[in-house]
A and B are shown apart, each in its own frame.
Chain A
Amino acid sequence: MTGPWTLMEVCGGQTHALLRWGLDQLLPADLRLIHGPGCPVCVTPAERIDRALALAGQPGVIFCSYGDMLQVPGSRPGHDLLGLRARGADVRLLTTPLQALAVARDHPERQVVMLAVGFETTAPATALLARQALALGVPNLSLLVCHVRVVPAMRLIAADRATAVQGFLAAGHVAAVMGTAELQQLVDDHRLPVVVAGFGPDELLQAVGACRRQLQRGEARLDNAYASVVTADGNPRARRLLASVFEPADVPWRGLGLLPGGGLRLRGRYAVLDADRRFGILPPDASNHDGPCISGRILRGLARPLDCPAFGSACTPDHPLGAPMVSDEGACAAHLRYRRH
C-alpha cells in the first residue's frame, strides 16, 4: 500500500527530540507526523493549576514543584507559581520528589505540598515518596496529585472517527514501567500499528521506519523499537509500587475533557496524604476558561500549531494563551522554538 501516512508521536519528549534534531526534514515525503498529548504540563487542567496556586498561596505552606510547572498559567493568564513566589510564596523547585521528604522533615512546623504531575513514568517516584512518608510518619507532607495515564488518551484518539492518525509511536519511558500489554490491547482493539519508540534521534528514526513498513504492508502490530530499555513486562516492581499507592480514576485533561481512567488517585490507605483532603475547599482563583486556544484539536491531531491564528503572534512562550505553548515539549512551543516562520 502507498501513503501518504500520518503517524502520531504520543510523547512530548519525542516531539521535542524530533524538532530538536530536525528529524522531520529527514523523513520520507509520504510521511506526516503529528504531535500527541503526551505532555503532562500541557494536559493538566487549568483548575488543577488554580488549585496549586491557591495552595501555594496559603500562609505557612512550602509548595514543591518540578521546574516544568512553575510557569504554567492557571485560568487567569499570566498567573503562575513563579509569579506567586515573586509575591512572597515559598515555592521550591525539586528535581526528584524524594527531596520533598527532606524539606518536610527539615520544616516540621510547616505544611509541605508536592505538586505530583506526570505519566506512569513519573508516578512510581511519587508512589515511593508516599510509601516513605507513611513509613516514617511524616505528618506535614501532602500530595497534590495530577498524574495521568497515557493509554486512555491514545484510545480516545484512536476511537475518534475524525482522527487522521494511522499509527502511533508509543512513549518508550512509559512502556519501560508499564510493559507492552496495554499497547497490545490497543492494537487488537483498533487495528492500527503501534511502535514503542525511544528518544534518541536514531531510535526515533528507527521507530518511524518500523511504523511506515507496517502501514505499507497493511499490517497492524505492536513493534518494540526501544528494546535496549523496554521489555514486554516493563518493570513489575514499579508497577506494583504504583498500584499499591494509586488507582485509576476518571480525570479531566486540558483540551480533551473528562477521560475515563485517564488519571490516578491515591488509594484509601494513602488518602491521608491527599492535599485536596487536607486543605479542603479553598477560594477559587478564577473561573476556568481556556480562551481562544485550540489545544484540544491540536492534542488530538486534528489541527496543527500553524493552523492557529494566535500562533506566534498573540500566543508565544512568554505569553502563552494555552498549554501547548507553555512547555518546551508542547507542540506549539517546540514548533516556535525550532522552526522558521
Chain B
Amino acid sequence: MDSDDSATIRLAHGGGGQAMRALIHGELLPILGAYAAADHDATVLGLPAGRLAFSSDSYVVQPLEFPGGDIGRLAVVGTANDLAMAGARPLHLSLALILEEGLPLPLLRRLLTSMAAAARDCGVTIVTGDTKVVERGRADGLYVTTSGLGVVEAPGPITASALRAGDALLLSGDLGRHGVAILAARHGLRLDPPLASDCAPLWPQVQQLLAAGVVPRFLRDLTRGGLAATLEELAMASGLDLRLQEPALPLLPAVTGTCALLGLEPLQLACEGRFLLAVEPRQLPRALALLSPAGGALVGQAQSPPPGLSPRVVLVTRFGSERLLPPTTGDLLPRIC
C-alpha cells in the first residue's frame, strides 16, 4: 500500500479488488493484530461456559480526534463498557468501518493504532470486521460500528426493574469530562490545564465490585445524555423517584465553567468512563470504599413517588430546596440567554 503521508482513502479501497486487499492486509491487520478471520468472512470462536452478553453500537463524532481519545478508542471502549454494564467480562469485538473517500491515510493509521491500544486496555480481541468506502461528502470522515461478546460474571440480572425504594445511588467518578473535551474543541475554547475525555474501560471497576461481593441492582454507563438521561430512564423503568443531593455530584470547575459559558446543563454531558451504580443500603459502605478512591461518591437514593404522581428525578439544592431534573432534549445547543 501507498506509504506516502499525503495518501488518502480512495473508492477502490472498498471495491473488493487489489486496493482493498492491500488496505486490509497492509494496514488493518498489521495494526489491529489478532484478526482471526483474516481469510474468511466469519470467525469461529471458542467461548467459556455460562451466559453471554452481546452488544452493538455505532460511533459518529466530530472532531474525530479530541483530547484524551478519538473515535477509534471510543468505539472499542464504548462497546466493551456496554458489556461490563451487563456484569459481563468483555471478550471479543467485531469492527465495521465506513470510510469517506479522501480520508487521510495517516489519520486512519492513527485511529487504528488507537483501537489496538484500546482493545489491549479492555482485554478484548477484534475477531472479525468489514470495510466499506463511500463517496466524498457522503460520510463524516469515518463511521465505526463495533459489536461485542462477553461472559456474564454478575450473580444476578442487572435491570432497572430490580431497583427498590431505599437503594443507594453511587457515581464511579466525576461527570462530564468527555462532553467538555468535545464541546471545547467544537466551540474554540481552550482547556487549561488540559482536560482530557474520561474515555476508559469500566470492567476493572465492575470486576472489583463483584469480587468484593457487591451485588449491583443497576449499572449504567453515562454516555449519550449523560447522568440526566440515565436517571430519567431509570426513574421511568423502575417507577421510583430518584432523589439526588446536588452538592454531592462530583463536577470539576472546568466542567461547570464550560457549561456556564455555553449555557448547558452539566448533567447532560456525556461521559465515556463513568457509571451509575445502585445497591441496597447494607452494601453501600463496601461499594463506596471501592469507588471513592477514583472520585466516586454517594449521590442519592431511590424512593417511592408521592401518591398519584409519576416518578421523577428530584434534585435537592444546597439550599435544601427541590427542583426536577429537566428532561434531556438530546441536542446540546449552546445558548446566550
Contacts and interface: CB of A to CB of B under 8 A. Distances in A.
A24 to B, nearest CB: 8
A67 B263 contact: yes
Contacts of A12: 337
A13 B319 CA distance: 19
A40 B336 CA distance: 10
Interface stretch (B130-138, B203-211, B216-224, B321-329): B321-329
A21 B334 contact: no
The majority secondary structure among interface residues of chain A is mixed
Contacts of B263: 67, 328
A193 interface: no
A82 B337 CA distance: 18
A328 B319 contact: no
A152 to B, nearest CB: 18
B334 A67 contact: yes
Interface in A72-107: 82, 93, 95, 99
B272 to A, nearest CB: 23
B44 interface: no
A123 to B, nearest CB: 12
Interface residues of A, number: 33
Contact of B323 (A20, A66, A95): A20
B317 interface: yes
A118 B321 contact: no
Interface in B299-337: 309, 312, 317, 319, 321-324, 326-327, 329, 331, 333-337
B117 interface: no
A230 B86 CA distance: 54
B262 interface: yes
B187 interface: yes
Contacts, number: 73
B337 A39 contact: yes
Contacts of B317: 21-22, 201
B326 A337 contact: yes
Contact of B322 (A22, A93, A337): A22
Query: Interface range on chain B: under 10, 10 to 19, 20 to 34, or 35 or more?
Result: 20 to 34
Contacts of A22: 317, 319, 321-323
Contacts of A337: 324, 326-327
A217 interface: no
A338 B313 CA distance: 10
A244 interface: no
A318 B32 CA distance: 44
A23 B319 contact: yes
Contacts of A41: 337
B334 A340 contact: no
Nearest to A70: B333
Contact of A95 (B187, B319, B321, B331): B187
A66 B335 contact: yes
A67 B326 contact: no
A99 to B, nearest CB: 8
Interface of B: 187-188, 261-263, 309, 312, 317, 319, 321-324, 326-327, 329, 331, 333-337
25 contacts: A13-B337, A21-B317, A23-B319, A25-B322, A41-B337, A67-B263, A67-B336, A68-B333, A68-B335, A68-B336, A68-B337, A71-B333, A82-B331, A95-B187, A95-B334, A95-B336, A99-B188, A118-B336, A122-B336, A201-B319, A317-B329, A327-B337, A328-B263, A328-B326, A340-B312
Given A12-B337, A26-B321, A93-B333, 4 more contacts: A66-B334, A67-B336, A118-B336, A329-B337
- Which 7 residue pairs spanning A and B have beta carbons closest together? A22-B321, A67-B333, A337-B326, A338-B323, A25-B321, A68-B335, A66-B336
